[in-house]
């Protein structure tokens, strides 16, 4: 036990040093959007670190157990999202820097009217809050298994640490701590050398590859991954902080390479667990692997890796939701910043953001103590994100009127709510796309109806 605390102690000392160095010369621009001066090297590691958390570690191993090699399709979805974000930001990079964007709602407020931006703001606040709750829930479970801490101790200690350095340094400190944490995360993948990979044979892989139900589910999850990452608030905060569009391009390429190097060992772990035929419940898979495979000497190393994975994503989610609340609250009012002194306005946003970080952390900690069904909440969260992404993509590509965009978002969210409470969204990956299917059907009918109306209107005129 002492070895674990010693390893955590060293990590926290280094984290404190990085926080102090990155925050001591900060200004409001550094706090809110890292002064739009993040190089591709820092950007790539930060994107990787903020994408991967201990939540994702558990989920990747679990999904590899369920979907086998088809889980690779999911990460092709992530690659497609990287390309999509790059193409969007490339078009709007000058506006992003000129207007000091620091969150995804800034972009929506620029593209849409106030009511559409407001409903998207509310949706993303809900998404981020649920995601933060999930992270607290997963990590209190992990540290109970490894450290013997109860969920109250785990939540207070880890949440408190993230709260302090995120509140002090903002986005600039968050990115620098991501670099440190992203490197340490690779300690986790050493677990692949401790599981029995010899059970993975062509016969066991063949059975998985031949399962059509798995294929359909994996494709559905890949589509969901693309749609969710495309509008992930944490991702957008990093790309808008980049120094140039070239830095964004290089950053995404290197981040994808790092993500691949990290994910493949986790996939091997999940497949080996399935091939062993010793585990029946995939929701407890990670803890079963720790109990049966990880030697005692490796646990301090694993603890540090999981600490970094948890904090790198939690701080990103916290700052993303706090920046929305700090700048807009719950209602988006376009052009409000133009009526105020820029320096004083930014200071006010920074103050409100810090307060929001504290409030959200406390509320999410409390809510996480009552969460029970992990996978169902995950698929519900994915479903809500995909609906929002479909509506946003449709609006960006086809440029409908503001009322049409607003209606599409409302229809998508309404479909999600009704299907969630109707029990149609389950732990089956395909069900997470059901509300999006409804939304796509509505958009096709809406487009067809408008075209018919326009044709009839023109005929009457002529």
- Could you read off the pLDDT of 205-226 as tens digits, one per residue? 777 777 777 888 888 888 888 9
Does the pTM surpass 0.75? The reply is yes
* Average pLDDT, integer, range 53-81: 80
DSSP class of 340: S
pLDDT number for residue 455 = 65
d(CA 394, CA 188): 39
User: What is the full DSSP assignment across 239-250?
Assistant: HHTBS-HHHHHH
- Could you read off the pLDDT of 254-295 as tens digits, one per residue? 998 988 888 888 888 888 887 777 666 666 677 677 667 777
Q: Which two tokens stand for residue 6?
A: 């010693």
Question: Which carries the bigger pLDDT value, residue 23 or residue 397?
Answer: 397
* Average pLDDT, integer, range 413-418: 92
Residue the block writes with tokens 């990155």: 22
| 2-372 to CATH, choices 3.30.410, 1.20.58, 1.10.4160, 2.60.40 | 1.10.4160
Query: Which of the four pLDDT bands, split at 50, 70 and 90, describes residue 439?
Result: very high
Domain ranges of the chain: 2-372, 374-462
User: CB count, 10 Å around CB of 367?
Assistant: 16
For the chain, what is the mean pLDDT? 80
Position 456 pLDDT exceeds 80: no
Q: How far apart are the first and last CA of the chain?
A: 85
- Could you read off the pLDDT of 287-341 as tens digits, one per residue? 677 667 777 777 777 777 777 777 777 788 888 899 899 888 888 876 655 556 6
* Average pLDDT, integer, range 77-93: 87
* Average pLDDT, integer, range 121-130: 90
Q: Select from 376, 389, 392 the least CA-distant residue to 429.
A: 376
């Amino acid at each position: 036990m002492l070895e674990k605390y010693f390893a955590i102690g060293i990590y926290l000392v280094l984290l404190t040093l990085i926080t102090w160095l990155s925050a001591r010369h900060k200004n409001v621009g550094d706090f809110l959007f890292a002064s739009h001066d993040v190089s591709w090297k820092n950007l790539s590691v930060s994107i990787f670190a903020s994408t991967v958390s201990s939540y994702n570690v558990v989920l990747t191993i679990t999904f590899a157990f369920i979907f086998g090699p088809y889980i690779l399709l999911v990460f092709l979805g992530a690659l497609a999202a990287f390309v999509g974000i790059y193409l969007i930001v490339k078009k709007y990079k000058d506006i992003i820097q000129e207007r000091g964007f620091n969150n995804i709602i800034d972009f929506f407020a620029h593209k849409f009217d106030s009511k559409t931006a407001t409903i998207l703001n509310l949706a993303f606040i809900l998404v981020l809050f649920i995601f933060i709750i999930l992270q607290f829930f997963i990590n209190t479970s992990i540290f109970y298994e490894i450290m013997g801490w109860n969920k109250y101790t785990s939540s207070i200690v880890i949440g408190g640490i993230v709260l302090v350095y995120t509140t002090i340094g903002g986005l600039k400190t968050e990115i620098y701590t991501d670099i440190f944490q992203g490197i340490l995360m690779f300690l986790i993948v050493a677990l692949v050398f401790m599981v029995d990979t010899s059970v993975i044979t062509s016969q066991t892989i063949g059975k998985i590859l031949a399962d059509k139900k798995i294929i359909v589910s994996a494709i559905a999850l890949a589509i969901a991954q693309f749609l969710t990452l495309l509008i992930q608030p944490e991702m957008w905060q990093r790309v808008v902080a980049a120094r140039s569009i070239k830095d964004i391009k290089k950053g995404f390429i290197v981040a994808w390479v790092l993500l691949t190097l990290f994910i493949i060992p986790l996939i091997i772990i999940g497949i080996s667990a399935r091939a062993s035929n010793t585990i029946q419940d995939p929701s407890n898979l990670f803890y079963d692997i720790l109990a049966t495979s990880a030697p005692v000497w490796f646990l301090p190393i694993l603890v540090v890796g999981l600490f970094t994975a948890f904090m790198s994503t939690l701080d990103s989610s916290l700052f993303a939701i706090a920046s929305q609340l700090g700048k807009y609250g719950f209602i988006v009012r376009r052009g409000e910043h133009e009526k105020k002194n820029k320096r004083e306005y930014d200071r006010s946003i920074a103050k409100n953001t810090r307060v929001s970080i504290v409030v959200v952390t406390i509320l999410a900690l409390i809510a996480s103590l009552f969460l029970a069904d992990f996978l169902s909440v995950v698929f519900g969260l994915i479903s809500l994100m995909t609906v929002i992404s479909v509506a946003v993509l449709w609006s960006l590509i086809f440029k409908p009127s503001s009322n049409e965009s607003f209606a599409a978002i409302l229809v998508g969210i309404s479909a999600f709510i009704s299907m969630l409470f109707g029990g149609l969204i389950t732990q089956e990956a395909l069900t997470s796309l059901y509300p999006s299917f409804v939304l796509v059907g509505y958009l096709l009918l809406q487009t067809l109806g408008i075209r018919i109306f326009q044709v009839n209107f023109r005929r009457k005129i002529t």
